[in-house]
Amino acid sequence: MSEQPVALVTGAATGIGAACARQLCAEGFRVGVHYRSSAEKAKKLLAELPGAFGIQADLTVSEEVDGLMGRLKEEAGTVDVLVNNAGYNINAPMLAMKLEQYDAVAAMARGTWYLSKGVLRRFMLRKNRGRIINISSVVGHTGNPGQVPYTMVKAGLDAFTKSLAQELAGREILVNSVAPGFIDTEMTEELPDEVKAAILARIPQGRMGRAEEVADAVAFLATRGHYVNGSVLHVNGGMYGG
């Protein structure tokens, strides 16, 4: 195996995940592009990134996460940086949401926990170094109507970050969150114009962020930020400062 550092980005086929994969590749990492169902988009991204490799898995299924860990070992031999970006959302008022819809959103938190545990045990703890970067959200701090399970999961990611950082105290394994605000992605492109206008009115910088701006924050934590640990880095144009 090469000594090139390896970064695994979950949900990397589109949006913020794809931007993180590109930026980490530019920083010198060999990038693992994880995806669940966006195979064609992942294939196109992999063609852009020298040395990158793809891994398909449903992170809500523990057996598939175990399989992912085995493929990581075979393909790369190590993981130096884990970016927990994969997420899922269903928009609906709480009183109209069904339990199975809640479970589908909340299951991603379990997947993040289980994958992080596996990467720590199999790779980072053996070397006593590494970085775990969790992509949370501004709505985990401000709330957002119609997104009760999603905001719960994102707030929980930041609590997960702070608790795990304390558990790993004394090791060179740093755990941080990046909490994006409203970012111009495929998801926000589909919003009605009046919804976009209401969002922009809440952002002091007067525009949505770019996925690349979130990726810049991730790259900083992955490569520099040596004394940043257990923190939430907000990237939201000033709409919330923590």
**CA–CA dist 36, 21 (Å, integer):** 16
Is residue 227 flagged as an active site residue? no
Count of other CB atoms within 10 angstroms of residue 94: 11
Q: What is the DSSP string of the chain?
A: --SS-EEEETT-SSHHHHHHHHHHHHTT-EEEEEESS-HHHHHHHHHHSTT-EEEE--TTSHHHHHHHHHHHHHHTS--SEEEE---------GGG--HHHHHHHHHHHHHHHHHHHHHIIIIIHHHTEEEEEEE--THHHH--TT-HHHHHHHHHHHHHHHHHHHHTTTSEEEEEEEEE-SEESHHHHTS-HHHHHHHHTT-TTSS-EEHHHHHHHHHHHHHS-TT--S-EEEESTTS---
Type and span of the H or E element at 74: helix 62-75
**Nearest CA among 157, 119, 120 for reference residue 137:** 157
Q: Could you say which of 35, 88, 150, 227 is catalytic? A: 150
Phi, psi (deg, nearest 5) at residue 185? -135, 180
Q: Which residues belong to the active site?
A: 150
